[in-house]
Amino acid sequence: MEGEPTAELIRTQLRRLRQNAGLSQEEFGRLVHFSGSQVSAVELGQRPLDRFFLKRADEVLNTGGLLLSLLRMAERDGQPSWLRPWLDAERDAQLLWCYHPTLVPGLLQTENYARAVIRADDMLSDDEVERRVAVRLDRQAVLGRAQPPKLVTVVEEAVLRRADESFRGIMAQQVGHLIRCVERPHVRVHVIPAEVSTHVGLAGPFTLARGADGGWIAHLENQLGGTTIDRDEDVASLVARWESVRSEALPHRQSVELMKEVVSSWS
């Protein structure tokens, strides 16, 4: 990301704002809890842009969150080309339908759950794990905007109960988060009970987004990334699969009760 134009803009703005505030790199560093040499390294592009650093910089320089917002733009610019069309569709959606057979969907993941899932790929460095966690959490901001999309997700009971001793704390936090999420009128989580042994959704995860124009677009995840689907026939097939998957899941109230039972079973 450091070679991206937006990343260079962040460094330029940081330097300009610091100088306009009459602060040397050493003085500014003390205020943001970094050394002067670290500040210099950030401004010169010799040190990766750091969310904590930029958050503190925004506070010290009273920018209204400018630098952190620019970082989010840089991270979005740095996303692979196959994902960008879907990010646009997700951001502009009025309705989102999401099914995942093995994980809690990303828009409803807690930070700790997201980190555990992403860290399972042992080919990723710690910095890359944290970057991906941050991007995933930033995408959740779509649910907190003034007019959020209606999000309907379907998850498997087995996903909620996948918790050995080392993972149970993270899962208890995650399922508790789901229960709180569905208190919002625009979020629904439906659970497919364990006794439903097979259905069409088990072939793989997918998400559908409907925009303001009423048109649909879909996204399929796979081991190498994902694919955005916009061909009418393919989207129609996925809508039909969604209806089939949704019909296997419990109603809203029963799903919430099952989630509460899952959490209580661990205490």
Rounded distance between C-alpha atoms, residue 143 and residue 152, angstroms: 12
- pTM value? 0.74
Looking at residue 80, its pLDDT comes to 63
Looking at residue 4, its pLDDT comes to 64
How far apart, in Å, are the Cα atoms of 237 and each of 94, 115, 122, 229, 231?
20, 33, 35, 11, 10
Q: Token digits for 191? A: 């659970």
Residue 159 pLDDT > 50, yes or no? yes
Identify the residue with better confidence: 184 or 135.
Answer: 184
Would you say domain 84-265 falls under CATH 3.40.50? no
Residue 35 CB partners (closer than 8 Å, separation 6+): 26, 29
- Domain spans, the chain: 5-77, 84-265
What value does the CA radius of gyration of the chain take, rounded to a whole number of Å?
21
The domain 5-77: what is its CATH number?
A: 1.10.260.40
Q: How many CB atoms lie within 10 A of CB 108?
A: 21
Query: To the nearest whole number, what is the mean pLDDT of the chain?
Result: 90
Mean pLDDT of 10-30: 93
Give pLDDT tens digits for 189-211: 999 999 999 999 999 999 999 99
Looking at residue 1, its pLDDT comes to 46
Give pLDDT tens digits for 100-152: 999 999 999 999 999 999 999 999 998 889 888 988 888 898 898 889 999 99
Residue 2 pLDDT > 60, yes or no? no
Highest mean pLDDT, choosing among 5-19, 35-49, 175-189: 175-189
What are the φ and ψ backbone dihedral angles of 221, each rounded to 5 degrees? -95, 150
Give pLDDT tens digits for 30-82: 999 999 999 998 899 888 787 788 989 999 999 998 988 888 777 666 666 66
- Block residue for tokens 């506070």: 59
